Amino acid sequence: MEYIASGFYHALQLILKLDSELLGIIFLSLKVSGAALVLAALIGIPLGALLSLKKFPMRSAAVSLLNTFMGLPPVVVGLFLYLLLSRSGSLGFMSLLYTPYAMMIAQTVLSLPIVASLTYAAVSSVNPVIRMAARTLGANNYQTAVAIIREARMGIMAAVIAAFGRVIAEVGAILIVGGNIAGLTRVMTTAIAMETDKGNFELALALGIILLSLSLLINTALHLIQNNKDVRSQIEGD
Amino acid sequence: MPISLRISGLSKVYNSSVVIDNCSYTFQAGSVYAVMGPNGCGKSTLLRICSLLESPTSGSISYYAGDNELAYDMRLRRMMTLLLPDIGIFNTTVLKNVEYGLKIRGLSRKSIYDASCEALELVGLTHKMSQNALLLSSGQKRRLGIARALVIKPRLLMLDEPTSAIDVENTEIVESAILRIKQERSSTIILSTHERTQADRLADKVVFVENKRLSQDGF
């Protein structure tokens, strides 16, 4: 209990002092996770929508595979990417290992199946009448797909929120491919792991509290946007 | 110019259950047809096939503008619309719902807005244009469906039970909108209904779906 109280105090001190090292760590965390999330959304949303809207052989196998990948163990992803990005690996020539780019790739790999799979579920749950309505109004295939995806936007937003939760809290993969190098690849989660290893529990806890607060802040903002746009919540509230 | 359609030997089978069996009929351009029959007789299936939402199991439909047969393409699909019983309201404002059909046709913003306002006025929903359409009552949703269908000025308008499960006031508004298009004679209208009195009020001809086939009762 003492640790927790002290952790809160320490966290407050660190924030108020605007410690430059801490700010650098926070900024890098947001940059890495933000970039990974954008990449995962750019690839995952069209992929999930395509899986839902387009019928093709082995589609259910592809969906099952995607669902399985939602539970990818971060350390396994980290190890796999390490082998790919290390000097002897097939992507070694890019010299990405121990850079923020490697961490972004790792988090993209981890969050992509979440975005794609939940987008698939969201698009699949759109009332089939919407598809018919769009077609009866003269929409072509592309316009019909856009209308359906627009109807699924709340579910897609939920997919992005879930993926954000995964990337902001992730430590295993980025520790392996990033290396937790101070000022270069140290992010909040890897810093927490390091401080815990060192027995510096107060600082680790303080960093944890800041991470949770940031996560809460961003999630609240995303939920507010989602709820404001979701008229169904107003209907249920009537 | 309204379009006519000729159905030849049309059949539809779902999982070995025959819904429509070898139907042939010609819907004349500019007329209003009421398709009647008991629940599950195939009225909705017939309208979905005529609106190209579904393919028939066998037989064919030919569409004509005057004497010219129209090809099955996007141009033909955009000449017609079907008001579905569930409507399929988009989760956006009433105005944007109406504007949708014109936006996908690439019209200018001003003409889209003007035409949409006119359609909303016709069904008495102008005061609701900024509201989310999902918040409308079921009768208002039906009126919105009518506005959304009318705004695209279809040459073939199909309405699947346009007044089922709505109150008298909303029914009157929907019927007066249909009668207005009938007066203009710019569209061929096919509507399905259960009510003989409504068929008498709105239609030039009544077609019955009986024993999976179409039969006509002129009056």
**The domain spanning residue A141 has which CATH number?**
1.10.3720.10
Tell me if A138 and B152 make a contact (CB, 8 A cut-off).
yes
pLDDT at B56 over 80: yes
> Is residue A71 a part of any domain in this protein?
yes
ipTM: 0.91
Residue in A137, A143, A156 to test binding to B, most B beta-carbons within 10 Å = A137
pLDDT of residue B182: 87
How distant is the Cα of A42 from the closest Cα of chain B, in angstroms? Answer: 23
> Is residue A237 a part of any domain in this protein?
no
Confidence of residue A209 (pLDDT cuts 50, 70, 90): confident
Mean pLDDT along residues A184-192: 94
Kindly report the CATH number assigned to the domain that includes residue B193. 3.40.50.300
> Is residue A238 a part of any domain in this protein?
no
CB B167 within 8 A of CB B135: no
How distant is the Cα of A215 from the closest Cα of chain B, in angstroms? Answer: 29
**How many domains are there within chain B?**
1
pLDDT at A94 over 70: yes
**Residue of chain A whose alpha carbon sits nearest to that of B79:** A138
**Residue of chain A whose alpha carbon sits nearest to that of B100:** A137
Residue in B104, B136, B161 to test binding to A, most A beta-carbons within 10 Å = B104
Tell me if A138 and B77 make a contact (CB, 8 A cut-off).
yes
Residues 6 or more apart whose CB falls under 8 angstroms from that of B153 comprise B186, B187
pLDDT at B75 over 90: yes
Buried b (16+ CB within 10 A) or exposed e, A113-141: bbbbbbbbbbbbebeeebbbbbbbbbbee
Confidence of residue A232 (pLDDT cuts 50, 70, 90): low
Q: Which domain holds residue A50?
A: 2-232
CA distances from residue B216 to B137, B199, B208 in whole angstroms, order as listed: 35, 13, 6
**Residue of chain B whose alpha carbon sits nearest to that of A232:** B134
| Cβ-based burial of A1 (10 A; exposed 0-12, middle 13-18, buried ≥19) | exposed
**How many domains are there within chain A?**
1
How distant is the Cα of B102 from the closest Cα of chain A, in angstroms? Answer: 9
**Could you report the per-residue pLDDT of B177-209, keeping only the tens digit for each?**
899 888 888 899 999 998 899 999 999 999 998
Both structure tokens of A32: 């890495």
| Cβ-based burial of B195 (10 A; exposed 0-12, middle 13-18, buried ≥19) | middle
Scanning the structure block, which residue is given the tokens 């290893």?
Answer: A197
**Residue of chain B whose alpha carbon sits nearest to that of A143:** B104
Which residues on B lie below 8 Å from A135 (Cβ)? 53, 77
> Is residue A190 a part of any domain in this protein?
yes
pLDDT of residue A231: 60
Q: Which domain holds residue B63?
A: 4-218
Dist. CA B157–CA B80, nearest whole Å: 6
The chain A residues in contact with chain B (CB within 8 A) are: 127, 129-130, 132-140, 143, 147, 150-151, 231-232, 234-235
How distant is the Cα of A150 from the closest Cα of chain B, in angstroms? Answer: 8
Please report the number of interchain residue pairs, chain A to chain B, with beta-carbon separation below 8 angstroms.
64
> Is residue A131 a part of any domain in this protein?
yes
How distant is the Cα of B90 from the closest Cα of chain A, in angstroms? Answer: 7
Mean pLDDT along residues B52-79: 93
